[in-house]
Structure formats: C-alpha cells, structure tokens
Amino acid sequence: MHALVERLYPLCRSITGDGVRATLDIIGEHIALDRHEVPTGTQVFDWTVPQEWNIRDAWIADADGKRVVDFAESNLHVVGYSVPVSATMSLAELRPHLHTLPDRPSWVPYRTSYYSPAWGFCLAQETLDALPEGDYEVRIDSTLADGHLSYGEHVVPGQVADEVIVSCHICHPSLANDNLAGVAVAIAVAKALVNPWYTYRFLFMPGTIGAITWLARDDVDRVEHGVVLACAGDRGDLTYKRSRRGDAEIDRVLEHVLRDRPHRILDFSPYGYDERQFCSPGFNLGVGSLTRTPYAGYPEYHTSADNPDFVSPAAMEDTLAVLREAFAVLDRNRRYTNLSPYGEPQLGKRGLYDSLGGRSDAKQAQMAMLWVLNLSDGDHDLLDITRRSGLEFDAVAAAADALRDAGLVAG
C-alpha cells in the first residue's frame, strides 16, 4: 500500500484532466476498472461538469533566469485550475498571486480555484522572504478547454444485488494522506473480498463534482450502505463520522468494530468529504466517513508536509483491518424470525447441544443460541443481539447459522 502511495504521489491531479486519467491507469493495474468520461457542460443536478484543466509547466524566474518557484519540483506550486499566464511583473504586482503559510515557513500550501478564472503560485514563506525586489518572469503553461470529467468504478459481485459503496476522492495532487492512502487501502479491501454477501462498488472520482456526477448518473436505489474513505494513513486514532441518519446499519457496524480500539465517533455534519453528497436530503443514504485524523485536523493537511513520509504503513494496515472486519460483520448481520417461538425449542433432539460437546466455548455458544432464539422477532438484527447479550458477534452469528440450518430460524 505504501509503495502505491509513493508511485501515485508525483502525479498532478485535479477535478479533471490527464493526471486523473493517469491515476486511474495505475489503479487499473491493481483492480479492474470501469472508466467513465462525462463531457464538459453535462448538467448534474445543480452543477455543470466544468472545462478540463491540464498543465504542462509553470515557473517564476528572477532577472537572471533562475526559477525561484518551479512546478517541476512540486505540483503544489501552482494553484489548481490556474488560467494560462505569460508576463513579466514586479514583485509587488506578483505578491497578490502568491500563497504561503507564515506559521509553517518551510511548507508549501495546496490551493485551488476550480470555478472562477484565476491564477496563482504556492511557495514556502521562507522562499518568499528571500525574494529581492525587481521584475520576475511569470509563466503558467496550462489549458482550460472542453473535455471530460473522469472517474472509475470497481465492482465485486455479491450473493445479492444490494450494494455497499466505498468512495475515495482522486482530485488532489501531491498529498499522500489526504487522498492517496485512502485509495491504496480501498484497493487492498477490494482485492481481499471473496464471494461477499453484498455487492461492493468502489468509486474513485474527483471530490464533490465527481460524487454529484455519479449520483446524477447511477441508480442509487441499490445502495444499502457505504463508507467514504480518506486520510487513511496518518498516525492518529481512527475516526468514524456517522451518516446523516445517525443510526444506519453501517454506523452501528463501525461503532461495534471500533469499540475495543482507540477511536472517536463523530455525529454527521454537512461539511467534510463526499459523505455530505451521499447524505444530502434527496438521497439520505446510509453512508458514513472513515478517517484517521479527520478533515483539516492535522497541521500537515493540504500542505507539502503531507508527503509519503507522513503516511505510516502500520496505520494503513490498521485502517485496512478495520474495514475488513466491518464488512465481514455487515455481510453476516441479519434479522431472523424464530420459527418455533412458543416456548424454547428442544435443541438436544436436533443435535445442537451435542454439537457443542467438548468445545471450550460451549457455554458461550449455548447462550448465543438462546439469545438468538429469544430476540429473533424480525425487529432485532445480530448486532442488536450482540449488544444485548454481551457476547461476541462471531458467536452470535455462528449460533444463527446453526439455528437456521436446523430450521429453527429464518431470515
């Protein structure tokens, strides 16, 4: 996963353009992708797919021709979606177009201007402080032209058509935690799924406009659950942000899986990543957001310090483990109906007690069967039974399987 982050890191991504396509090309080397190209001008709800932006080079050069700011050194140096510029201007004229972080003088910020024509450069404050007065050559070799918005989907077929979506944004340039770690973890999750119950759809698309475009073009009625995955590799504790519903099944699953780990649970707010699109009132999907340190919650966020060294392989492995466990629980969670609800059915004559003989967890397995029988009324799912009984989810799910095979519950 970390090697993939390193490979994707140098690409100049934005909400459109060749950098997005190159990113999808690399993702497609690891998992099969359905690619989509949506033309500029396409109406998607209240939004319109914008013109495509591509950039070849950019720099600020001093009077001696030395490049004091160079896009070739870091694609963060140019404000995303900058219009073309070719001019000579004084430092005073240039300053309004320069963006720095005075409190982090060696870091370069990440800035964009997606939906209004503008241009600018981002640089370290210490670089700006060292620039003498005088004239500078300013060049941004970019294009804004009709083109396409690109995104990719990978589907893992399940035993049912109902879907779980996992969404990652791929619109940020050289930012390793905020978005590349999530992309790498999502790919690893997709490769690990084998014959799941639900169908899993992995979405790799630009933030906001990508999610809105996907929602406008696809049948969301099949979506039962979902997770927006971002900031998956920093060393902070895991954070889960609930869906707008607040009690969606995915919310309860993640809270269950995270209960024995250092973590934070946040209520929904309409700010952050694309959970706010999936949870907009017209859709109100059961989609939460999984990060480590949340949106804008760490100093390195949207700066050059969010580089591959900032991303921890161990943290990505932990995020992967939590998602795999969460999806395993989600796939097994059901509501059952007791088919013999009048009194406790005789388990012994069905061989259910005999099957427990000699097991070190026989007492827990027996209690799990009794709890499943008692709460299988069509209203309680296995997570409810786990919480109520205090037993492990695996024990409750195994008991439900045994009772179903014996014809005592259905679901």
Output the known binding site for Zn(2+).
172, 178, 302
Sequence length of the chain is: 411
For strands 199-205 and 47-48, give the pairing.
Answer: unpaired
CA 38 from centre of chain:
21
User: Which residue, among 79, 319, 294, has the nearest Cα to 178 in the 3D structure?
Assistant: 294
Q: Which residues contact 250 (CB under 8 A, 6 or more apart)?
A: 164, 225, 226, 227, 243, 286, 287, 288, 326, 330
CA atoms within 13 A on the CB side of 234: 27
Alpha carbon distance 54, 150 (integer Å) = 13
Which H or E element spans position 86? strand 85-90
Backbone phi, then psi, for 398, in 5-degree steps?
-65, -40
Q: Which of 407, 179, 133 is nearest to 301 (CA)?
A: 179
Secondary structure of residue 220 in the 3-state scheme: helix
Q: Are 360 and 388 in contact, with CB atoms under 8 Å apart?
A: no
Dist. CA 314–CA 2, nearest whole Å? 10
Sequence ranges of the binding site? 172, 178, 302
What tokens appear for 255 in the block? 């809270």
CB 265 within 8 A of CB 230: no
